[in-house]
Amino acid sequence: MGTGQLSSLIMQGFSGPIYPIHPSEENVMGMRAYRSVRDVPEAPDLAVMVLPTGIVPRLLAECGEAGVPAAIVTSGGFREVGDAGLALERELVEVARRYDITMMGPNCIGVSNFNIGLNTTYYPYQQEPGGVTIISQSGTNSCHVYGHTHRIGMRLSHTVSVGNSAVVDMSDCIEYFAEEPTTRAIALYIEGVSDGAKFMAAARKATARKPVVALYVGGTGAGARAGLSHTAALGGDDAIYDGMLRQTGVLRACNIEDLLDWAWALATQPRAPGRRLCVYTNAGGPGASMADAASRAGLEVPVLSEGLQAELREYLPHTAATANPIDITFMLDMEAYYLRVPRLLFESGEVDGMVMYGIFGSWLFRTRKAALGDRFTLEIDSLTPRAFALLDELAGMPAEYGKPLLVSSFWGRDDEALAHLTDVGVPVYPIPERAVRSFAALT
Amino acid sequence: MGTGQLSSLIMQGFSGPIYPIHPSEENVMGMRAYRSVRDVPEAPDLAVMVLPTGIVPRLLAECGEAGVPAAIVTSGGFREVGDAGLALERELVEVARRYDITMMGPNCIGVSNFNIGLNTTYYPYQQEPGGVTIISQSGTNSCHVYGHTHRIGMRLSHTVSVGNSAVVDMSDCIEYFAEEPTTRAIALYIEGVSDGAKFMAAARKATARKPVVALYVGGTGAGARAGLSHTAALGGDDAIYDGMLRQTGVLRACNIEDLLDWAWALATQPRAPGRRLCVYTNAGGPGASMADAASRAGLEVPVLSEGLQAELREYLPHTAATANPIDITFMLDMEAYYLRVPRLLFESGEVDGMVMYGIFGSWLFRTRKAALGDRFTLEIDSLTPRAFALLDELAGMPAEYGKPLLVSSFWGRDDEALAHLTDVGVPVYPIPERAVRSFAALT
């Protein structure tokens, strides 16, 4: 575990000094190791402790003596294993209080801040920093999800695993990230809240400043049992949590996919001023399934005015549908597709935002070229730079008009146009209906 | 479009002769081109027609004269564009009937049969053949989804785009694939059914032999409008379709992700004999969210008997939870994790199947090694062959015990152990809750 966490710190490019501490090794992963925090030439800003349970309180006290102001205690075996562990956890808290140490955990994976290359989890985060902060009562759900976010191109600001929350709990984190400027949306994974009033105060403070989405899993019998054995969380009645979240303006998701999908939209796009959705596509099937999903999500897909449809038809082939969904069918004019038509729609006042299907770069052509060689004669090199410039302008429209744009494609980041679009801040969902449900979150 | 479809045929490795027909070119993609189907040295088994609308009936008649028994008409501009197109479509049907041609379309992408390397769509399918057949009223949803299936490792048998269904319609296809032996589950994308009695008869016939899942999008106002402009499909009241699907034993999905997720489970795993789910994990968060999702999906997560829990504890560390969810926390004994514990659970009679989180190969270690070089000293080369042998045995248990196993991991096919597991027939879902919802489909 310690090797993994240290690997992540190095791989993330953390620029500050790192002081490995080890009882016998002279050298840990190419760095000079120290016998004790007392031997380190300066007081570190943060101690990450991966140690046998019994010695954690004593070594945390050493950190306190050395002037370390903050600690992440990864070690488990405390409150979550019963009475003996509980006594040890109380001792640990007493030490943290005595030395005024801001302590995360115990029984937590750590804290990542991708703005400074700090990753104390055991998984690499292989992306640029972004606007979503995850605060999680599960370590796994705070760092295994890097695999998911990497695959879809969703970027994170911070991830926090609160573990047993002996000193710092989820509510403290919510309050902190309400003010933290790189965090544009907060995603919570909750197994149980021990101090409801504190949670509600923190959540209210946060939602007044930025959107918060929560997944609560402790409200069903099996979910509560799982949470209890996991982090000693006491889950409560699902309806009570539902009300608590609603009263504090926290959006509730029912699985991890929705939690992250919605947070991605909320961190990158403006809120939708209303529920009128434009479905804009080059393919009938995804257009129809997005329209159907919109109705099921309580959105409107309004029939556009005759005047607007006439304007749209000036840019579109005669086979196109213009009522909404707008299905352009087949058209080679990228400027009309990516810019003119979206601008007309954003400017019209008839819709509150847009979901789009059908953007692509040269992935398909490159794949064919690779397989077919000279038999494939289409000139593809000029496609990409031209598409990027158009997509940059398209990606700017949501801020310009105050209306969100979400994209979907079954083809992921293998296609450079879709990868580019996510990189400039427009979420691209791998399934059309997920873009629609995320749009609903923006309302 | 024609270039794309021909590219896919070549790239898929179709082994039969291909005869390009072109009015002026001597050579198409390295193959001799013919002026007319009449010049081809033998009667082809199938004609794929990508032509201007107006000349399709005449050229289909030429195919008929040449003895071609089947045709895919990709060209659009028929019934879906209104009265003029409708007249032309009637003419086309008349030609097909006159020459007894089995015609797909018009306005369809084509038919793929991956068992013989036949891919007449414009997207490459880059996988081995599998057990799911997709029958779709959307061309996009029949072939863009290859991007999705490739990413998760889900394998397809056939995909069929029925387009305007002028001769062969979805019900005919359902009847055919009810008997087709490589198809183990059928996924339907429906915008509207014109002959309800015919559909119900075909669906009943199919569900008596193999599972069928359907996504119907024409039941909401916006979905119906989209379907009408797309394939001239007349959608009907959602509740009527809901009843029709239920009465014929067709499972209904509400988005493309569920449609494909469920079909994948149904094509690869035995039905669950009951609703009692075992949640088996090495991570508390996914365990809790899977347990919660199970309750929401109407599944039970029964507390295991004291006797069984005692047996499990013989293999598990003292930190493990054994009640169900079973959270092994941290354990290096791969044989216990992948084989002994699953065997105890499958044999117990206390659960009807299992969802599992936490299988991994060497992706994480390889990534660290690549980034850290000699600083990372763990010996990893022996991990993978050993894991593969264990996973092969694990993958055989569902058939042995008649109870399904579904896996999830945020890490996809980048990890060779997860890729191997999907390749030997155990679905690995990228989100834990999706494995649980797919398990519910198996009940």
B contact residues 279-338, partner A, Cβ 8 Å cutoff: 279, 283-289, 291-296, 301, 303, 319, 321, 323-325, 327, 329
* B426 contacts chain A (CB < 8 A): no
For chain A, give every domain's residue range.
Answer: 2-104, 111-268, 278-442
* Model pLDDT for residues A297-308, shown as the tens digit of each residue: 999 999 999 999
Bridge-partner residues for B189, per DSSP? B136, B215
The confidence score (pLDDT) of residue B233 equals 66
Residue with tokens 């354990």: B331
Q: Which CATH number fits domain A111-268: 3.40.50.150, 2.60.120.680, 3.40.50.720, 3.40.50.261?
A: 3.40.50.261
Sequence-distant (≥ 6) Cβ neighbours of residue B258 within 8 angstroms: B215, B437
Q: Which amino acid is present at B222? A: A
CATH fold match for the domains B2-104 and B278-442 = yes
CB < 8 Å to B293, chain A? 254-255
Q: How far is B401 from chain A (nearest CA, A)?
A: 25
The alpha carbon of residue A135 is apart from the nearest alpha carbon of chain B, in Å, by 12
The chain A residue lying nearest B322, using CA atoms, is A229
In chain A, which among 228-287 make CB contacts under 8 A with chain B? Answer: 229-231, 254-257, 279, 283-287
Closest CA to A270 of A359, A185, A154: A185
Quick one: closest CA in A to B122, which residue? Answer: A364
Q: In this complex, how many residue pairs, one in chain A and one in chain B, have their CB atoms less than 8 Å apart?
A: 282
Kindly tell me if the per-residue pLDDT of A379 is higher than 80: no
pLDDT recorded at residue A91: 97
Percent of chain A surpassing pLDDT 70:
99
> Is A380's pLDDT higher than 80?
no
- % of chain B with per-residue pLDDT over 90: 83
B51, B52, B40: which is closest to B16 by C-alpha? Answer: B40
Cα A165 from Cα A93, distance rounded (Å): 10
Q: Are B179 and B209 in contact (CB under 8 A)?
A: yes
Q: Are residues B304 and B324 in contact, defined by beta-carbon separation less than 8 angstroms?
A: yes
Instruction: Report the distance separating Cα B327 and Cα B322, nearest Å.
Output: 7
**Subunit contact A256:B11, Cβ cutoff 8 A:** no
Instruction: Show the tokens assigned to A124.
Output: 């690499």
Name the CA dihedral angle for A391, A394, A395, A401, rounded to a multiple of 10 degrees: 170
Q: Categorize the per-residue pLDDT at B106 as very low, low, confident or very high, splitting at 50, 70 and 90.
A: very high
- Any long-range contacts for A299-303 (C-beta under 8 Å, 24+ apart)? A299/A275, A299/A436, A299/A439, A299/A440, A299/A443, A300/A275, A300/A276, A301/A276, A301/A277, A301/A325, A301/B221, A301/B222, A301/B225, A302/A276, A302/A350, A302/A351, A303/B225
Helix (H) or strand (E) holding B432, with range, is: helix B432-442
B289-339 pLDDT per residue, tens: 999 999 999 999 999 999 999 999 999 998 899 999 999 988 889 999 999
Residue A190: strand pairing partners: A216
CA distance to partner chain B, nearest, from residue A198 (Å): 23
Q: Chain A contacts of B217, Cβ < 8 Å? A: 288-289, 291-292
Asked if omega into B44 is within 30° of 0 (cis), the reply is no
User: CB–CB of B286/A226 below 8 Å?
Assistant: no
pLDDT at B254 over 80: yes
Contact B292 A151 (CB under 8 A): no
Mutation target among B164, B229, B380, B413 for the A interface, most CBs of A within 10 A: B229
Residues of B in contact with A229 (CB under 8 A): 284, 321, 323, 325, 327
| Contacts with B, A 12-41, CB within 8 Å | 29-30
pLDDT bracket for residue A375 (50, 70, 90): confident
Overall residue count recorded for chain B in this entry: 443
**Interchain contact B367–A (C-beta under 8 A):** yes
- pTM across the whole model: 0.96
The token pair that represents A159 in the structure block? 């991830």
Q: What's the confidence (pLDDT) of residue A268?
A: 98
| Chain A residue with Cα closest to B126 | A367
B227, B296, B372 ranked by CB distance to A220: nearest: B296
Q: Does B389 touch chain A (CB under 8 A)?
A: no
In this predicted model, what pLDDT tens digit does every residue of B117-134 receive, in sequence order? 999 999 999 999 999 999
Q: Is B119 helix (H, G, I), strand (E, B) or coil?
A: strand
Determine the pLDDT at residue B227.
74
Cβ-count burial A139-171 (b if 16+ within 10 Å, e if not): bbbbbbbbbbbbbbbbbbbbbbbbbbbbbbbbb
Tokens representing A392 are 């940059």
Q: What are phi and psi of B37, to 5 degrees?
A: -60, -20
| Nearest residue of B to residue A3, measured between CA atoms | B376
Is the CB of B112 inside 8 Å of chain A's CB atoms? no
Tally of helices (H runs) and strands (E runs) in chain A: 18, 17
Q: What is the CATH code for B278-442?
A: 3.40.50.261
pLDDT of residue A231: 66
Strands in A302-384 per DSSP E: 326-327, 354-357
Whole-number pLDDT of residue B231: 66
Tell me the C-alpha to C-alpha distance, in Å, between residue B45 and each of B42, B69, B103, B160.
9, 6, 12, 17
Q: Tell whether A187 lies on the interface with B, counting CB pairs under 8 A.
A: no
**What pLDDT does residue B341 have?**
97
DSSP bridge partners of A186? A133, A212
In this prediction, residue B9 carries a pLDDT of 95
Cβ-contact B57, B92 below 8 angstroms? yes
Note whether B62 contacts A: Cβ–Cβ < 8 A. no
- The predicted-structure confidence for B174-218, as pLDDT tens digits, reads as follows 999 999 999 999 999 999 999 999 999 999 999 999 999 999 998
DSSP state for residue A210 in the 8-state scheme = S
Best mutation target, A109, A229, A408, to test chain B (most B CBs within 10 A): A229
Residue B258 contacts residue B242 (beta carbons within 8 Å): no
Buried b (16+ CB within 10 A) or exposed e, A377-397: eeeeeebbeebeebbeebbeb
A24-73 pLDDT, tens digit per residue, is: 999 999 999 999 999 999 999 999 999 999 999 999 999 999 999 999 99
CA A47 to chain centre: 26
CB contacts, 8 Å: B283 with chain A:
138-140, 144
A234 pLDDT higher than 70? no
List the one residue out of B364, B354, B368 whose CA is nearest residue B432: B354
- Give me the CATH topology for the region B2-104: Rossmann fold (3.40.50)
How far off is chain A from B233, nearest CA to CA, in Å? 11
**Residues of A with Cβ-Cβ distance to B359 under 8 angstroms:** none
Residue of B nearest to A436 (CA): B255
pLDDT band at A225 (very low <50, low <70, confident <90, very high): confident
Asked whether the beta carbons of residue A410 and residue B147 sit closer than 8 angstroms, the reply is yes
From the centroid of its chain, how far is CA A108?
19
**Chain B nearest C-alpha distance from A233 (Å):** 11
Chain A closest CA to B277's CA: distance in Å? 11
User: Which tops the pLDDT comparison, B320 or A377?
Assistant: B320
Best residue in A25, A127, A289 for a mutation probing chain B (most B CBs within 10 Å): A289
Q: Can you state the angle between helices A238-247 and A196-207, rounded to 10 degrees?
A: 40
pLDDT value at position B121?
A: 96
Question: pLDDT per residue over A118-139, tens digit each?
Answer: 999 999 999 999 999 999 999 9
Residue A233, pLDDT > 80, answer no
Q: pLDDT tens across B400-416, in order?
A: 999 999 999 998 898 99
**Phi and psi of A156, rounded to 5°?**
-110, 150
Whether A409 and chain B come into contact, CB under 8 Å, resolves to yes
Cα–Cα distance, B115 to B117 (Å, whole number): 6
Q: Which chain B residues have a beta carbon less than 8 Å from that of A220?
A: 291-292, 294-296
pLDDT confidence of residue B375: 85
- Confidence band (pLDDT; 50, 70, 90) for B394? very high
Mutate to test the interface with A, among B79, B80, B126, B140 (most CBs of A within 10 A): B140
In this prediction, residue B70 carries a pLDDT of 98
Mean pLDDT over the full length of chain A: 94
